[in-house]
Amino acid sequence: MIATISSLIGGIGLFILGMMLTTDGLKAMAGEALRSALSRLTGSPWKALATGAGLTALVQSSSATTLATIGFVSAGLLSFSHAIGVIIGANLGTTSTGWIVALLGLKLSMGTILLPVIGIGALMKLLGRGKWTHLGMALAGFGVIFVGIDVMQTSMTGLADRVDFSAYSAAPLTGRLMLLIVGLVMSVLMQSSSAAIAVTITALATGTIGFDQAAAMVIGHNIGTTVTAILAAIGASTAAKRTALVHVLFNLGTGLMAFFLLPLFTALVAWMAELWANNEPALMLALFHTVIKCLGVAIFMPLSKQLEMLANRLLIEHRSALMQKLDPNLAEVPALALGAAQETLQHCAAVTLDISARRLNGQASSYDLKALTEVEEATSETGRLLARLPSLDSDSLDRLSSNLHLLDHINQINVDACHLGTGSDESPIAPLHEQAGHLADVLAETVVALKNSDSDALLKVQDRLQHQLELGADARPAILNAALHKEVTLDQSLQLLAVQRRLHRLLHHSARAIHYLNRLSHGPEKDTRLEADSPIVDQEAEDNSLQETLKGPADQE
């Protein structure tokens, strides 16, 4: 008995391990292609449904599809109403696991047949580069799934003679409830409804349990998978919680309906199996699972608008608009995390440059410091998200580097914007007055381009910022010359030099921020404007050293 249970646990572990390897390999291999494809194929609720079902059938994990969907909603690439279609489609796509097990895993010894595939996949993982190593991991995982099914089937054959489930008949309501709870606990412990369903189908095929009992357990598996979604949503963004809520409502509603109408559903499946001329229990259970999911789709898809309103009403967004695109779970899919970071930093740049432009024009507002604090919080959260990313390929590393540079320059702009409050009209030095005015105009133009996500306009703005950097070099000598000729006092000259340094830093960091945004949008191959970060001259140290020089002639007179 102990050996049988140990073998069963090992088979379940192999199945789950295979699913994890396949899912991780396909997610990593898809990368940006997955991001762009899902955003294109969800133009309507029914397209979103088909995309969610197809993607889940491919990666054999509704959790992976749900996570990707959360990322698209957070990044603003997918509306919440279309995300509902993807989530419902993902639940429909999980039925593919039952068909794979029933049609292939139990009819053929696929584990033995696919052993060479596991070996080839492992070699590709060890020796390959780039996407080949991810493909190798997916192939190895696919083979391990069927090895696990073979082990479970062998273990269940021995278990059928030693375990009696007849006491838990699915006919009475109490027995049906006990079997549902067993199925729910299995999904929670395995953290995978697909794995739990595979175990149940194997138990049914080997005679360990009957069809009615297996059907009640499948309902429990579907309800149990909501616990995983709830746990994943704890501490996540509001978008993630709303997506998890839709997942819970769909599975709970479908599961309760199937539970109370179980005799009707089992009779319907038996009738369909007779028409199909195939009464194999494993295939009938896979059909049962598909039928209840399809009925759930038929009920909930027309109610998607109502689901959206309910989720928005129950889960109100309390975070600032800048933080809404960030979700800690996005770190599992680097392409989504990098995209969300870029979107967030672009919005942060728009806010802080808009405040800088207005304060340069003497239009400071009492809300500026609150907005700048929100920018600081958003950049800090973005940094924490980027720090959680796993190992990346070369393209993703370049995007990560650009995001980190962009984050640093926005933080520097934020610091300088806090101290801006002197209008350019207060400066008696014409070059400084002109520089501040031109900088305010360019920053205002930059804000418009950022808000419109106009990549062509941002390229032009980068050229203008670089031109302003070159023209601004005349302001400092003019201030020093005015001080030497006593056109301004020593204290005035030092104040003007401090303002000029702040303008120079603001201009430099603005130009660099737009440079990295353009690099993220157009790629490094089109990046010909600026080379590596050039260090800012420590003008403050130079200006302090000039203080004695300026004092000397004045003291002598």
Give the pLDDT score at 555. 44
Average of per-residue pLDDT across 362-382 = 86
Of 79 and 34, more confident: 79
pLDDT band at residue 552 under the 50/70/90 scheme: very low
Of 320 and 232, more confident: 320
Average of per-residue pLDDT across 164-193 = 73
Give the pLDDT score at 36. 61
Q: How far apart are CA 41 and CA 36, in angstroms?
A: 9
Residue 260, classified by CB atoms within 10 Å of its CB into exposed (0-12), middle (13-18) or buried (19+), is: exposed
pLDDT band at residue 542 under the 50/70/90 scheme: very low
Q: How far apart are CA 258 and CA 493, in angstroms?
A: 81
Of 97 and 351, more confident: 351
Query: Which of 104-113, 289-298, 317-326, 332-341 is predicted most confidently?
Result: 289-298
Q: How far apart are CA 155 and CA 143, in angstroms?
A: 19
Average of per-residue pLDDT across 121-131 = 82
pLDDT band at residue 351 under the 50/70/90 scheme: very high
Give the pLDDT score at 126. 83
Of 193 and 176, more confident: 176
CATH 1.20.58 maps onto the chain at 323-556
Nearest to 299, CA basis, from 91, 39, 68: 91
Whether residue 445 has pLDDT greater than 60: yes
Between 317-326, 413-422, 547-556, the lowest mean confidence (pLDDT) is in 547-556
Q: What is the DSSP letter of 472?
A: G
Give the pLDDT score at 556. 39
Whether residue 457 has pLDDT greater than 70: yes
Q: Over the stretch 489-522, which tens digit does the pLDDT of each residue have?
A: 777 777 777 777 888 888 889 889 999 998 888 7
Paired tokens of 185: 């606990």
Whether residue 49 has pLDDT greater than 70: yes
CATH architecture of 323-556: Up-down Bundle (1.20)
Q: What is the DSSP letter of 75?
A: T
Give the pLDDT score at 163. 54
Q: How far apart are CA 542 and CA 530, in angstroms?
A: 26
Whether residue 340 has pLDDT greater than 90: no
Q: How far apart are CA 215 and CA 263, in angstroms?
A: 10
Whether residue 53 has pLDDT greater than 80: yes
Look over the chain and give the mean of its residue pLDDT values, rounded to a whole number.
77
The rounded percent of the chain whose pLDDT value lies above 90 is 8
Of 386 and 66, more confident: 386
| Placement of tokens 């991991």 in the chain | 137
Nearest to 325, CA basis, from 37, 55, 78: 78
Query: Which of 136-145, 203-212, 246-255, 539-548 is predicted most confidently?
Result: 246-255
With contact defined as beta carbons under 8 Å apart, do 56 and 90 qualify? yes
Between 53-57, 131-135, 391-395, 530-534, the lowest mean confidence (pLDDT) is in 530-534
Q: Which helix (H) or strand (E) holds 224?
A: helix 211-233
Of 458 and 60, more confident: 458
Is the pTM higher than 0.85? The answer reads: no
What are the CA-CA distances from residue 131 to residues 31, 137, 338, 401 (Å)?
A: 9, 10, 18, 21
Whether residue 30 has pLDDT greater than 60: no
Give the pLDDT score at 108. 56
Whether residue 174 has pLDDT greater than 90: no
Paired tokens of 270: 């038996």
Whether residue 95 has pLDDT greater than 50: yes
The CA-based dihedral angle spanning residues 383, 385, 390, 393, taken in that order and rounded to the nearest 10 degrees: -70
Query: Which of 163-167, 536-540, 542-546 is predicted most confidently?
Result: 163-167
Average of per-residue pLDDT across 112-118 = 77
Q: How far apart are CA 253 and CA 258, in angstroms?
A: 9
